[in-house]
Amino acid sequence: MTETNLGPNGWVLLQQAGTNDFLTLNELASPAFDPSQTVLLADLPAAPNPPATTTNENSGTVEYTSYAPKDIKLHTQAATPTVLLLNDKYDPHWSVTVDGKPAPLLRANFIMRGVYLPAGGHAVEFHFSLPVRPLYVTLSAIVAGILLCGFLFVLTRNPNTPEKN
């Protein structure tokens, strides 16, 4: 288990801004951008009470309770509503739950994952799962190809030749 203070090099960032990709990349490249204080979101979260101002105060802690390639569990404690920034690559096949309830997965800082957290303690779980529909389509195409090859083989066989007396 790892516990992390959420201060200058932390994960929970108080200032948030919704932008488009071009503006996000420009802002990330700007020398004035401070990744320890700002997270850039592709879409603003549906936050009931977003923080009004930013602060340099320690806003909370994050503790890993489990870290596996497809399942990450964290326990957080935040003094104010905030965005938890997980510095792992964003993929829409990730899902996130906060206290066992589904929450919107946020694309943060162009390529990372995030989730909005209200103030207080929370159990956060990120889970990755690929949809199975493409697998079924592929398997169906393979079976159809095999059946078609078998059908063509049967059609191209020489018909029974008459017996010679």
Question: Are 89 and 75 contacting, i.e. CB atoms less than 8 angstroms apart?
Answer: no
pLDDT for residue 6:
41
Give 155's DSSP letter: H
Tell me the three state secondary structure of residue 160: coil
- The highest-confidence range among 11-25, 28-42, 123-137, by mean pLDDT, is 123-137
The burial class, CB within 10 Å (0-12 / 13-18 / 19+), for 4 is middle
Query: In terms of DSSP H, where are the helices of the chain?
Result: 21-29, 133-156
pLDDT for residue 66:
94
pLDDT for residue 7:
39
Query: Residue 107: CA atoms inside 13 Å, Cβ hemisphere, count?
Result: 12
pLDDT for residue 159:
66
pLDDT for residue 123:
96
Q: List pLDDT tens digits, range 124-159.
A: 999 999 888 888 889 999 999 999 999 888 888 876
| pLDDT interval class at 70 (50, 70, 90) | very high
Q: List pLDDT tens digits, range 42-66.
A: 877 766 555 555 555 666 889 999 9
